Structure 1
Amino acid sequence: MRNLFLLIILTVFMSCNEDVLPKPKAYLSLTYPKKTYKKLTLKRPYSFEVLENTTVINEANNWLKIKYPNLKASIDITYRPVNNNLKELLTEAEKLVFKHTVKAEQIIPKDFVNPEKRIFGSLYEITGNAASQIQFHITDSTNNFLKGSLYFYAKPNYDSILPAVDYIKQDILHIVETLEWKE
């Protein structure tokens, strides 16, 4: 009996020689396909390049929906001609952005100015659990006004969708960089 007791005590002391360490944080590893772009083929007063693995849906009034089926997201593009109502169009676009302040933690603006291509606009990154994480508008200030919004078809959980938002943000920036107004 004494030997059994010594064996148990010896086993306990020998098994406790390593320090217990907490598990390191795990990060979600997402891989996205390599990006290749194609020119928008629909007849519009504007053109730009879209990601090849998206689905472009033709809508009335020169509007578009660029769907990301694998990410369950879309960029909704609306077009309006400018008829001495630029101030009204800009105010309406900004109202839609700031409608998200209830759920947003922060709204970060970025301006675009390219006088040679007649591109003037703003992009708004909306952090937090808002319905739309990115909104933008672009105009040539005389004839055309384009507005876009990024939406996910899921309840907004900003931490979970952040990698997808960053992925699509690059496509939105590419749209702005390749945008051309047609005469």
Structure 2
Amino acid sequence: MYCFVPTVTGTTTTGSRDRDTTQAFAGINWAFGGGPELVVGVRALRTNASHKVAGARLEATFPFSSSKIAFDKLRLRLVGGHRSGMYELGGGYTFDSKGFVLSSALQADHIHVGTDLTLSGYQWQPFVGVNSLGRAKAPKQRRDGTLSCGDEQGSLTAVADVTSDVSVQAHQQFNGYTCLLGT
């Protein structure tokens, strides 16, 4: 007996399924009243079939002072919206002012605009920045098709149903099926 890989015919797109992505990022913000700051973090998103996103963003800021770059804020925001434009709501802690922060922002392709409100002293600080985050990835497409043995006279058989005297190699199967030819 001889085995060969089946062919897929009639491939069609039948819809989408959710896609999870996690991305590390870096950027530069200009904090009004505070100056430039380096921002590094990670964003985790789920994009659904309607291109809506939900997830979270964790980031740390490092303001530039005249002589050094020092760690200041740690923020966690929940993310929602559409893959081309997202809103973020959350909070964090500022180690420089030693207080909790309420934070909100908007993210588009590589552009970030937001504001922080430090609760100790009620200091409001808007910011604008650029970063390495583009739009969220699109949902995965489902593809369906029919397996067949083509023009040859083989019979489509599940690999699990092939007798032990026939060896089915990885390159001779597709999605758990192979074509058997001969006796």
The structure, 1 or 2, with the larger RCO (C-alpha pairs under 8 Å, 6+ apart) is 2
- Verify same fold: TM over 0.5: no
TM-score in terms of structure 1 length: 0.26
Which structure is higher in helix share?
Answer: 1
